[in-house]
């Protein structure tokens, strides 16, 4: 089974990769299109040079690695993807060969967290529009995409992960609820900039509190993102 987990930044995506990565039957890959995305857009991100050197910048080569032989002989291949990396010029038809899951989070939480690490995000930085597009494409290709909300996972990790596994036809493993601190061997090279909190964790954080305040300068981004979030929230587990 190949699981393409489509997220945006600051959205529990690394913790979910660690959860699946702690299963003995599962290989994981961390944002395999990141270097290709930076090469194709010219965007300046933290650790850009290191990222470019650490991965293939050819999206075709990345796709071949995702749909080729299963890594390490595992029966499950969990692919952590950022939806915003799927820009024009990156083929999408390969997702037909995957179980597609969409990890969503309220845009106010994403924007507040992302802005603390990289200033002044725009809509295309945070993946909501691209998530909705990919969901529609997966449906159009006859797939059965699944949507899960990070808020619900943090509120009830065991229940929601079991629900997710049931929905994709994968047996639940309680090993998904905890992982060793200190990061994962398959973390992307950018982990030192973004993953400090999850490196210090051994399981999912507690339930989230009230929504954060979004700065006035980012209210337009919040307004743009909300319809895409609401579209997927309406069909979440």
Provide the residue ranges of all domains of the chain, joining segments of one domain with +.
2-233
What pLDDT band is residue 113 in, cutting at 50, 70 and 90? confident
Q: What confidence tens digit (pLDDT) does each residue in 125-160 have?
A: 899 999 999 999 999 999 999 999 999 999 999 999
For the chain, how big is the Rg over CA atoms in Å? Answer: 17
So what's the pLDDT on residue 192?
87
Question: Which residues 6+ apart lie within 8 Å of 10 measured at CB?
Answer: 105, 109, 110, 113, 114, 117
So what's the pLDDT on residue 118?
63
Q: How large a percentage of the chain has pLDDT more than 70?
A: 99
Six-digit token pair at 7? 């997220």
Six-digit token pair at 147? 């949507």
Architecture category of domain 2-233 in CATH:
3-Layer(aba) Sandwich (3.40)
| Torsion from C-alpha of 195, 10, 166, 33, nearest 10 degrees | -80
152 neighbors 108 (Cβ within 8 angstroms): no
Cα separation, 198 vs 10, whole angstroms: 11
Beta strands across the sheet bearing 76-82: 26-30, 76-82, 2-7, 99-104, 146-149
Q: What confidence tens digit (pLDDT) does each residue in 1-55 have?
A: 999 999 998 889 999 999 999 999 999 999 999 999 999 999 998 899 999 999 9
């Amino acid at each position: 089974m190949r699981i393409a987990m489509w997220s945006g930044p600051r959205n529990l995506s690394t913790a979910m990769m660690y959860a699946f990565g702690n299963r003995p039957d599962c290989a994981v890959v961390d944002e395999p299109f990141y270097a290709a995305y930076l090469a194709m857009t010219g965007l300046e991100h933290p650790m850009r040079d290191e990222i470019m050197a650490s991965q293939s910048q050819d999206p075709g080569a990345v796709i071949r690695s995702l749909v080729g032989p299963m890594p390490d002989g595992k029966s499950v291949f969990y692919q952590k993807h950022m939806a915003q990396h799927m820009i024009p010029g990156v083929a999408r038809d390969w997702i037909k060969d995957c179980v597609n899951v969409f990890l969503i989070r309220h845009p106010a939480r994403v924007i507040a967290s992302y802005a603390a690490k990289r200033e002044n995000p725009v809509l295309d930085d945070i993946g909501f529009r691209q998530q909705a597009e990919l969901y529609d494409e997966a449906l159009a290709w006859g797939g059965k995409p699944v949507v899960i909300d990070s808020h619900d996972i943090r509120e009830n990790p065991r229940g929601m992960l079991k629900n997710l596994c049931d929905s994709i036809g994968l047996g639940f493993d309680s090993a998904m609820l905890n992982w060793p601190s200190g990061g994962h061997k398959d973390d992307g090279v950018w982990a030192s900039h973004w993953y400090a909190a999850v490196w210090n964790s051994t399981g999912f954080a507690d339930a989230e509190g009230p929504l954060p305040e979004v700065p006035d300068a980012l209210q337009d981004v919040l307004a743009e993102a909300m319809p895409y979030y609401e579209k997927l929230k309406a069909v979440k587990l």
